[in-house]
């Protein structure tokens, strides 16, 4: 039995910050420790590269999304190498491996009856003459009333919702209030997995975990089916059988774990299905507290519906001081200091291995 270990994917519209480093270093330590005691383990991760924030930043820099994510990838790899983080493979969600697996899972979900289409009302800007996917519209959070929140989730209370749920919405391009326009969208039947998800969460978490009741309460309140399509223009994978519908970033982003596994296996003459379908590996995810909804509910349901293997354990990190950990000055200072300490620690670690092994 092997261990497949991952860290949450770094989004490609910004630099590596201290929160990433804390998570990636502890994941690397966990992987190294397992290998030292004889548990064959591989550590994989990737850049998360799709969605409207990538579009918005690329447009502001007057470059293509592909140029933006290529630069981000190179910067991320360079930074992570300085901390001697030992990936088996570090890849990208904007890859042919990820496209192939995303399409495969989508077909499995369709064949198993978990995909359907429905006409819904979408925010549309009459001034810009375009649909406004999640990050192109802002407003007041419908749950906690925090101002200036994006149309997919609240950064204040972590609630997830649709752009039409926002209070006093406005287009981030022109500032005008959008109207509602009908559009046919594709949905995943998340609600069909309520009982299975509840059993799964109780199996992989402990009653001591503070977020366990948080997740169970979400399920008890009633899971809503998940809209996994976005209207063009949108940076991502075109949905098979459509002309202007793209996979929502949170559909293909976690599939990046599998796409990266396939890349690793292709490079090492292995079969990725051993890890993700045939149950020949234990899968561990290390994630941040802000994405527990996606990794404990949406992502396992996708895997269940498509007939893939589930994670054995999902390790959730705590919030750190957001102002400190995302401040450019403190990030630069801490990264340079920690990089030197990492170099020293690695030299002592090598001596330790030579002495005892």
Predicted local confidence at residue 338, as pLDDT: 57
The residue-averaged pLDDT of 141-154 equals: 92
Kindly report, residue by residue over 157-174, the tens digit of the pLDDT: 878 888 889 999 999 999
Predicted local confidence at residue 180, as pLDDT: 93
Please give the tally of structural domains in the chain: 2
**Where residue 49 sits, what CATH number does that domain have?**
3.40.50.620
Kindly report, residue by residue over 192-238, the tens digit of the pLDDT: 999 999 999 999 998 888 889 889 999 999 999 999 999 998 999 99
Predicted local confidence at residue 148, as pLDDT: 94
Predicted local confidence at residue 138, as pLDDT: 95
The residue-averaged pLDDT of 4-18 equals: 92
Whether the per-residue pLDDT at 334 is higher than 60: the answer is no
| pTM (two decimals) | 0.86
What is d(CA 244, CA 183) in angstroms, rounded to the nearest whole number? Answer: 11
What is d(CA 27, CA 86) in angstroms, rounded to the nearest whole number? Answer: 10
- Do 271 and 180 belong to one domain? no
Whether the per-residue pLDDT at 85 is higher than 80: the answer is yes
Whether the per-residue pLDDT at 149 is higher than 90: the answer is yes
- Do 95 and 158 belong to one domain? no
- Do 76 and 58 belong to one domain? yes
**Domain closes at, from 142, 164, 188:** 188
Is 339 a member of any domain?
A: yes
Is 291 a member of any domain?
A: yes
The residue-averaged pLDDT of 296-309 equals: 97
- pLDDT classification of 321: cutoffs 50, 70, 90: very low
Predicted local confidence at residue 340, as pLDDT: 53
Predicted local confidence at residue 342, as pLDDT: 54
Indicate the range of 97-111, 121-135, 247-261 predicted with least confidence. 121-135
Whether the per-residue pLDDT at 333 is higher than 90: the answer is no
Q: Tokens in use for 350?
A: 């090598």
Strand stretches in the chain, DSSP E: 2-7, 10-11, 41-48, 89-92, 115-125, 130-131, 137-140, 149-150, 167-171, 179-188, 226-227, 229-231, 245-247, 281-287, 313-316
Contact between 298 and 287 under an 8 Å Cβ cutoff? The reply is: no
The residue-averaged pLDDT of 264-293 equals: 94
Domain containing 180: what range? Answer: 116-188
Is 207 a member of any domain?
A: no
Sign of CA dihedral 147, 149, 154, 160: positive
- Nearest by Cα to 104 from 260, 308, 242, 257: 308
Q: What mean pLDDT is reported for the chain? A: 89
Distances 197 to 207, 272, 293, 299 between C-alpha atoms, Å: 16, 25, 12, 10
- Do 98 and 123 belong to one domain? no
CA–chain centroid gap for 21, Å, is 16
The structure tokens 């293997």 sit at: 309
Is 260 a member of any domain?
A: yes
- Do 33 and 103 belong to one domain? yes
Is 236 a member of any domain?
A: no
Kindly report, residue by residue over 99-119, the tens digit of the pLDDT: 999 999 999 999 999 999 999
- Do 76 and 148 belong to one domain? no
Is 205 a member of any domain?
A: no
Is 322 a member of any domain?
A: yes
Whether the per-residue pLDDT at 244 is higher than 80: the answer is yes
Predicted local confidence at residue 355, as pLDDT: 45
Predicted local confidence at residue 336, as pLDDT: 58
- Do 352 and 251 belong to one domain? yes
Predicted local confidence at residue 324, as pLDDT: 46
The residue-averaged pLDDT of 112-135 equals: 92
Predicted local confidence at residue 353, as pLDDT: 45
Is 78 a member of any domain?
A: yes
**Where residue 134 sits, what CATH number does that domain have?**
2.170.220.10
Whether the per-residue pLDDT at 298 is higher than 70: the answer is yes
**Element (H or E) spanning 219, and its range?**
helix 211-220
Predicted local confidence at residue 330, as pLDDT: 52
Predicted local confidence at residue 289, as pLDDT: 80
């Amino acid at each position: 039995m092997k261990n497949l270990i991952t860290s949450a994917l770094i989004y490609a519209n910004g630099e590596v910050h201290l929160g990433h480093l804390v998570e990636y270093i502890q994941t690397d330590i966990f992987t190294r420790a397992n290998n030292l005691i004889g548990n064959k383990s591989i550590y994989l991760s990737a850049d998360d590269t799709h969605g409207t924030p990538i579009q918005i930043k690329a447009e502001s820099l007057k470059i293509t999304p592909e140029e933006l994510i290529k630069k981000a990838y190179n910067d991320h790899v360079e930074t992570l190498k300085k901390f001697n983080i030992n990936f088996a493979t570090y890849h990208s969600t904007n890859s042919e491996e990820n496209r192939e697996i995303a399409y495969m899972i989508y077909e499995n979900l369709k064949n198993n009856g978990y995909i359907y289409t429905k006409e819904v009302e979408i925010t549309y800007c009459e001034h810009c003459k375009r649909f406004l996917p999640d990050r192109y519209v802002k407003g007041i959070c419908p749950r906690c009333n925090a101002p200036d929140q994006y149309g997919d989730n609240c950064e204040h209370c972590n609630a997830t919702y649709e752009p039409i749920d926002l209070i006093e919405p406005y287009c981030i391009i022109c500032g005008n209030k959008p109207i509602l326009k009908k559009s046919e969208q594709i949905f995943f039947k998340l609600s069909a997995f309520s009982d299975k998800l509840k059993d799964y969460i109780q199996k992989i978490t402990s009653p001591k975990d503070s977020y366990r009741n948080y997740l169970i309460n979400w399920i008890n309140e009633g899971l809503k089916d998940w809209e996994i399509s976005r209207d063009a223009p949108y940076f991502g994978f075109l949905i098979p059988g459509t002309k202007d519908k793209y996979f929502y970033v949170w559909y293909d982003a976690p599939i990046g774990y599998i796409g990266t596994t396939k890349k690793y296996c292709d490079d090492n003459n292995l079969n990725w299905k051993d890890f993700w379908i045939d149950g020949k590996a234990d899968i561990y995810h290390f994630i941040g507290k802000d994405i527990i909804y996606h990794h404990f509910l949406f992502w396992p349901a996708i895997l269940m519906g498509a007939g893939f293997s589930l994670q054995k354990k999902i390790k959730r990190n705590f919030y750190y001081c957001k102002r400190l950990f995302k401040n450019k000055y403190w990030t630069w200072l801490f990264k340079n200091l920690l990089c030197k300490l990492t170099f020293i620690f690695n030299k002592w670690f090598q001596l330790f291995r030579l002495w005892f092994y």
